[in-house]
């Protein structure tokens, strides 16, 4: 199975960015851990700080037949009708993941515009959330 893993704005700086919130793990290490935990999966990794680039990548993966997605949209979660419409319009089995618990933080983070367009959401479990999302896609989707 091919699974796209998308990380949105500012997640390229994991490990350096607010480590008290997001931990010390880098995005490269997170990706490597997924590769070694799930050798049977072909991962497509993409991180971008640009909303339109994420939309373009989701469309091209979809055109190539990719149908499984784990997405941490970063702050686009709370502001992007564009990403929500994109996910509503494409036939992905998608899981929304957040490293931090978005319900324990500032009130603006407690609302996800993306949640209605995905199958489920995992929030607050750090790196483990990505692993659980992949397991779900492998076993249930
Ligand atoms: C985040 C939570 C968002 O509110 C924030 O803007 C991020 C990261 C998380 O993984 O906890 O960039 O998606």
Active site residue 98: yes
134: confidence class by pLDDT, cuts 50, 70, 90:
very high
pLDDT tens digits for 76-102?
A: 999 999 999 999 999 999 999 999 999
Per the annotation, does 68 bind a ligand? Answer: no
- Could you tell me if the CB of 75 is within 6 A of ligand 1? yes
Residues 99-116 have a mean pLDDT of 98
The three state secondary structure string of the chain is: CEEEEEECCCHHHCCCCCHHHHCCCCHHHHHHHHHHHCCCCEEEEEECCCHHHHHHHHHHHHHCCCCEEEEECCCHHHHCHHHHHHHHHCCCEEEEEECCCCCCCCHHHHCCCCHHHCCEEEECCCHHHHHHHHHHHHHHC
Q: Which ligand 1 atom minimizes the distance to the CA of 100?
A: 11
Per the annotation, does 85 bind a ligand? Answer: yes
Which is catalytic among the residues 68, 98, 130, 131?
98
To the question of pTM greater than 0.90 for the whole model, the response is yes
Domains of the chain, with CATH numbers? 2-140 (3.40.50.9100)
40: confidence class by pLDDT, cuts 50, 70, 90:
very high
- ipTM of the complex as predicted: 0.99
- Could you tell me if the CB of 79 is within 6 A of ligand 1? no
Active site residue 22: yes
**What is the pLDDT, as a whole number, of residue 64?**
98
């Amino acid at each position: 199975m091919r699974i796209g893993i998308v990380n949105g704005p500012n997640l390229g700086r994991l490990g350096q960015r607010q480590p008290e919130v997001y931990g010390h793990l880098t995005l490269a290490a997170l990706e490597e851990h997924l590769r070694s935990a799930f050798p049977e999966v072909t991962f497509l990794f993409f991180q971008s700080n640009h909303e339109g680039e994420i939309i373009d990548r989701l469309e091209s993966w979809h055109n190539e037949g990719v149908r499984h997605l784990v997405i941490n949209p970063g702050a686009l979660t709370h502001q992007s009708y564009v990403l929500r419409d994109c996910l509503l319009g494409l036939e992905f089995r998608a899981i929304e993941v957040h490293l931090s618990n978005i319900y324990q933080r500032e009130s603006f983070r407690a609302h996800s515009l993306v949640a209605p367009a995905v199958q489920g959401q995992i929030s607050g479990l750090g790196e483990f959330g990505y692993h659980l999302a992949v397991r779900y896609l492998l076993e249930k989707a």
